[in-house]
Every structure is written in structure tokens, then in C-alpha cells.
Chains A and B, each alone.
Chain A
Amino acid sequence: MIVIAAVPYVESADIIMAPAYIKAIAAKHGFSSYAIDLNVEVLTLIKSKPNRDRILNFFLTQEIHEDTVNDIRNIINYCANRIAERNPEIIALSLLTFLSQIATRWICAKLRQLCPNARIVIGGPGIKNQISDSNLGFINQLIELKLIDDVIHGDAELSFPEYLRGNYDYPGINNYDWNRVELNSIPTPDYSDYDLSLYERCNIPIIDSRGCVKNCEFCDIIEFWSKYQYRTADVIFAEMLEQIRKYNIRSFEFRSSLVNGNMKEFKKLLKLICDYNEANSEQISWGGYFIIRAANSHTPELMEQIGKSNGCLWVGVESVIPEIRSNMGKPYTNEDLDYHLESSKKYGFKLILLLISGYPHETLEHYETTKQWFKDRTQYIDNILLVSITIASILPGTALERRSKDYNIIQGPYPSVWINQNLKITTKQRLNYFQELQQLVKDLGYNLYDDQKASTFVMDVNGY
């Protein structure tokens, strides 16, 4: 038996696609497997525990409180048992983010006891601290301690079947030269092993593209998937219909950097969804990352279709200061942004605004302008489902990191700790601004995505 599991911890009530997707890949090549989303199962287990946050703190920092020892032990053993009870010969652990690394270490230790003969392989973006990070400390530690046997780097569509065939020298298996798959040939994720009732937001994930058509300097996705790839509208819509048939769920979430990278296919997909929604009383809804373009590209007709298709747009606004956006590689105007806000109101679709707080070139005046921008747009609150603000980080392997010297930036020990020496705004000041902006957004009545973890990783800010 092959068991594929998503490892906690991800602070999300959403479906983690990887195990179901890898299961489908294995099945396509004739291998039967069992897929588990351990993250949702663990979150369900501790949901009503009074010490929930302290338990989760263990998975973030490895801090052990006296009142959490037994709970943590139970969680580790629960996860290992869930896998071991299938008597696996191969255990594939998927790490969505680096926050899964602590749990992976402990679960693997237990798995070595329960399944001493199983081969353990890890993969996913979380095997490194950042997607383009060259630091392999976590992987090396696991191998040195004999907690794992193998690592799959990059996308697993081609390498995982080869791994199951025992071809351990294949590109991507214990080496970095992984091969890219043609996206239109990928299989439909198989959620038949999941208990979908556990999810608070049961949106079926769909891969629609990989990479991005933009070249934003702060982004590490484009470093990982350097070439933009998309699936055609017909293929995506066929997958939607297949999943509706299987699970009777009509809400979907596109797992990509943007849904509107290829406008021709995006328009076609919207048309297919709108036609479905017109013909059926139970309608499709969807959400996905979206880039803003000028009104001549995103016409009122397109906006209307987004509304009729029940779309929810995750918009990477990044900054409301035009010159800051332009420098980072997002040269749309504030008029374009307002047009999308206005359209959401007019055509009844929702927006999730994603902002970066304190970008390297932002001045103290820009901070005030940003606050004012939110004050001036409260008329759109009902259509803005969520505002998510993150602290500006300089991620390894990005263009921003490469340009840091030119920008006169000195970097600290963590991606969010740095100082632009031209502006002399310290990390502490930026952190204060971040908190002020969050508070203001909340006070104004916007629904804020309150990411407590954001500040957890800003530790030693002295001197930056």
C-alpha cells in the first residue's frame, strides 16, 4: 500500500489538494494508494480544546507547555497511526508550507517505529523555508537522522510514478532537475478518501495554471515556475463537471497564481460557468487569484460575467501607491483598481484584497496615504470579503533580493527583517505601522485576515 498524507500545520479550513492529486497521478500509472489530509483531521481533533493555541504553538516554534504534552503526543501518534494502519510500503508526506516541518520531524520519528520497513519520501513547497530557498537544512537533517529515505523536488507528476517504479535516479528524485508536465494532461484529484464534511470551507481545488504572466520583483513563484503554463477552459470545465458529479459540490477554488493569465481561456471559462449557472438552479461559484488590468482589457462585460459566474477575486493589490507598484512590476493605475472595486459593487462579486505593508521603497508619507486610501473606500466594504495584509519580506531567490544591494537594503536574519538605508525606516517602525494599519482597517469595518503568525517570525529586529 502507498499512503500519501498532507502534514499539519496549515492554518486553513480549506481542502489540501496534494494527497488527492498525487493519488490520482499514482492511479493514472496503475498504482493504488490512500490519501489523507492530516491537517484538517488534527485541526478537528483540537478544535474545542481550551489550550488549542498553545498546542498549535508547538507546530510553529516547538515550544512545549506542561499542559500540552499529552495533547501533542496524542496528535503525533494519531497522525502516525493514521498512516501506519494501512500497512504502507511507501509513505509520501506532502508539506504545503515550511510550517509543516516541525510536525514532519516528529511524525517521521514515530513512523520509523510503527512502520520500520516503509520507505518515506517527502515533497511539496514546505520542504524548504521558502520556495526558492537554497537552504536545504531541513532535508539534510531528516536524511542524517534517517527519518526519511527520499525527497521529491519540484512538481511530482512525472517523478512520483517513477519513484513508485523504483527509479530513484529520475529527475526530481533526490536531485533538483525536475521535469515539467504538460498541464492539460494532468489527472483530476481524487478526494474519495477524504472526509469532506470536516472542512469549514469545502471548495474543491482546481489547478488552472502554473507560474505567472507578471514579473513582480518580490515574488518567488516566478523563480520556481519560470514559464507560465495554463490549462484550457474546456479541460478545466470538464474537471469541474466531473467533480460536481462525484461530490455534488459546486464551489471551486483555483490553486494558481492567477486565473486571468490567459484572457482568451479565462473569458471562455467564464462563459461556460455562466451558461451552466443559467441552466441550473444549483450554481457554480469559484475563487482565485486575479491580476488587475485596465478597463479596455477587463471590460464591463467581463466584470458582469465574473458576477454571474459567482466569482470571488483574490486581488494582489500589493500597494495602493502607484509608483511603488510600478517599481515592483505591477504597473496598473489606481483608477484601474477603483474600477474593479466599483465593478464588484455593480455586478455583485466579492473581492479579497492582498496588500504588502511597508514595501522597501515606501516612505512614512506613503504609510499615511495607504491609511487614507482605506478610509476613502469604505463604500466597498460589503464587497470586500477580506483584507489580508502581510509584512514586506525579502524572500530568498527573488529579484528583490538580488536588487537589495542596489536599493541600499541591509538584510537581517529573517526575510521580514531588513532596513532600507536610504529611508532609514526600521523594522520596528514597519512592524508598528503594520499593526496600526491592521487596526485601522479593522476599525473602519473591513473584515481583516488577522494573521497572528505574521509577527511570530519577526524576532530579532535590533539594528534593522
Chain B
Amino acid sequence: MIKKLRRLSWMSMDTKLECEFTFGHCNGTMCLEVFDGDKLLKKYQNDSLETETLVAEISLPTQLKFVVSGKNYNTDTKVDEQGNITADKCVILKNLKLGNIPIGVGLLYSMLSSKDVYFGRNDTITVDFDEDDFILWHLKNQNKFNIG
């Protein structure tokens, strides 16, 4: 009975992706485009953006791309007399979940091609989801639930 029930239904199924972003303001906000491979999932271009959550279905394996643009490096960062940044046009990736499982902070930093969740330059940041099963991806990357 046990063997008969083994199936491979985890192949070729879409996986839920959830990203939470915070937009930093300075002369407006950056433009953010999120791609599943070459497919545009969402484009954010609006000066009233604050915290946004993107929920999408993606097909694994894939490369997730965050394309950030629209920053003028001469004018879009404000610094006080002591050199502290007081305002910056940026995007911060606050949370990333794959298949409802949060990707731990340490792993998140190491996975991003920028090695940082603070996107403060016009850039394309990528994440490789290189398994066809999100469970396998989490396990292979030692990503676990917080069990407190």
C-alpha cells in the first residue's frame, strides 16, 4: 500500500512567492520591477509607495530578479552635517517567503546577488531558486522554520 501511493506530484506546480518591500523616499521612490525569469510579476513606480507586499505564483526552478532603477546618485540621498544619511531613495526587501516558508535572514543575505537586502543603487539583484520543488530548495539550503 505504501509504495503504491508514492507520486511525483510536486513536479511542475506553481509555488507561492511572497515578498515584502519598504520604499525609502528622497525625491520620490525608486522604480522596482520583479521578474520570475523573464516574466514581469509586478512593477512598482509610484511616489506614494511605503510598504508593499507582492504575492505571486512562480514556476520553479527559476531566477527571481529585482530590477531597481530611477535613482540619481547626486541628488537622491540626503546627508546631514555629521555625514548621517537622513533620507535615501531605496528599496528594502523586508521578507521573502517561498511556499509560505520564510527565508531566514542569514540565508536571505547570502542568496541575494547583492548580498544585502538594502537596494540603494540602480541594479539587478537575483535569487536562484534552482530546484523544482520548494521543499527541496529549503531543505538543501538548510532553511528551517523558527521553532523558538
Contact = CB atoms under 8 A, between A and B. Distances in A.
Interface string B18-36: 0000000000000000000
Contacts of B5: 78, 81-82, 85
B110 to A, nearest CB: 16
B146 interface: yes
A60 to B, nearest CB: 10
A318 to B, nearest CB: 31
B10 A110 contact: yes
Contacts of A114: 9-10, 13
Interface in A24-38: none
Instruction: Point out which of A44, A74, A84, A109 has the most chain B C-beta atoms below 10 A from its C-beta.
Output: A109
A84 B5 CA distance: 11
A44 B2 CA distance: 8
Interface SS majority for chain B: loop
A110 B136 CA distance: 11
B133 A112 contact: no
A112 B99 contact: yes
Contacts of B135: 73, 76-77, 106, 109-110
Which of under 10, 10 to 19, 20 to 34, or 35 or more describes the interface residues of B?
20 to 34
B106 to A, nearest CB: 15
Which of under 10, 10 to 19, 20 to 34, or 35 or more describes the interface residues of A?
20 to 34
A102 B16 contact: no
B142 interface: yes
A137 interface: yes
A141 B133 contact: no
B136 A73 contact: yes
Contacts of A279: none
Interface string A169-185: 00000000000000000
A102 to B, nearest CB: 7
Given A113-B134, A145-B100, A41 B2 contact: yes
A146 B6 CA distance: 27
Interface string B27-57: 0000000000000000000000000000000
A81 B7 CA distance: 7
Nearest to A137: B148
A69 interface: yes
Contact of B99 (A69, A70, A109, A198): A109
B144 interface: yes
B147 interface: yes
A145 B18 CA distance: 11
A444 interface: no
B27 to A, nearest CB: 36
Interface in A15-61: 41, 44-45
8 tightest Cβ-Cβ pairs between the two chains A and B: A69-B139, A73-B136, A105-B145, A62-B144, A77-B10, A195-B1, A109-B100, A81-B7
Given A81-B6, A112-B100, A145-B100, 16 more contacts: A45-B2, A62-B145, A69-B140, A70-B136, A73-B135, A81-B10, A84-B9, A105-B145, A109-B99, A109-B101, A109-B135, A112-B16, A113-B10, A113-B16, A113-B134, A147-B100
14 contacts: A45-B2, A64-B139, A74-B6, A77-B9, A81-B9, A85-B7, A106-B145, A109-B101, A109-B134, A113-B10, A113-B14, A113-B134, A141-B146, A145-B102
Interface of B: 1-2, 5-7, 9-10, 13-16, 97, 99-102, 133-136, 139-140, 142, 144-148
